[in-house]
Structure 1
Amino acid sequence: MRFVLVHGGFHGAWCWSRTILELERLGHRAVAVDLPGHGERRDEEGDLGDRRDAIVSVLRPGDVLVGHSGGGYDATVAADAATGLVRHVVYLAAGLPREGRTIPEAMTMRDAEDGEIDGDVTGMLRYLRFHDDGRMEFADYEGARDFFHHDCDEPTARWAFERLTPESFGDYHSATVSIPRFWEADQDRAKPFLNSVQE
């Protein structure tokens, strides 16, 4: 089986290096994708379409597409664009878009017309430093470890922190997502996260 691995925010293909080795040890093949603005492509800018294209460009028939965290949105958009190539989509603590809505609306399970959307549903903003150009990055190692790498040993957490890239959502956050082919495909357990307590 061949896996295509999509990282989440601030990360890059590098974060999958140990996973790739383990999958290969089990007899599978795997490739990790750097989305524009991340990893080896850290100096590139890209919108939702550019991120989709980065994933689609490496897909082959029968691939299992894995999206982690914010990479779930990108993996889903890619799966919609290449339904004939993707066997399964796996969401690893990942987000799932909502048809006709923006990524922030999907993250919060609220619509813009419902009022102001809380952009910090995860509590991450307290760890970030913001730049005048709209980029944001983790202010320090302790914050990144607390938010992302709390269950890693110290050397691994420091290794990861040194590779994090600034995040710049730009058009990515304001784009309305439409994935009709994804919804028409055979669905197993792909559902947006719902709060267990509804108000």
Structure 2
Amino acid sequence: MKLVNITTVGTTQVDIQSDLNSNNITLNNNDGFVLRAVLLNQNNDSQTPVAILLPQKLRQISNPNYGDAIISSITKIIGCSEFNCYLTFAITLNASKIVPVLWVDIKPEVKEKHQLIYWFSDNAFTMTTPQVRVDLKIFYTNDSSLQLTTQDLIITRMKMRSSKVPDQRSTQSTTNPTSTLSTINLISTKSSTNLTTTQSASQADEISP
């Protein structure tokens, strides 16, 4: 983890190479890196959404250092605003390694059966942490007692065929991941605005220079 001070209305270059060197990390053709960054204020509160930079042209998308994700749980929640009450499902995803490009959706047959009109808080993203929560809000269904399970959802992540055609997608594995997610965090603190970046490629534990 590395903290980089950024002045107001200014730019600061983040030195990644020196952090790799200090941790004895060398790059080769099997390395594919995902960079994650976020701006923080003096209180370390996020000021922007998390920004993700994927490897150029999704190079090495089948890198063995990238992993798969599973849906570990789904919880039914009734949430009400000033005007309406909506049925919401809190979905928890787990991954053992970085997942560069990931989609979450409801299976087509489930959508059709329950005539669902719905919205995900996020359903296409890069997984750089071992666990992510996604909220699924149901605006309409023909089933007043709707209950979804992990089997009603599908996870898809991008992989390459051996022929290098980058259009094959593989569905989630049902086995639980066992190894730990790897990240190298580069963060910055101090002045009015801070930059937090995360660089990740291997299956090792989180490395904090």
TM (norm. structure 1) is: 0.23
More strand by share: 2
More helix by share: 1
Greater C-alpha radius of gyration: 2
TM (norm. structure 2) is: 0.22
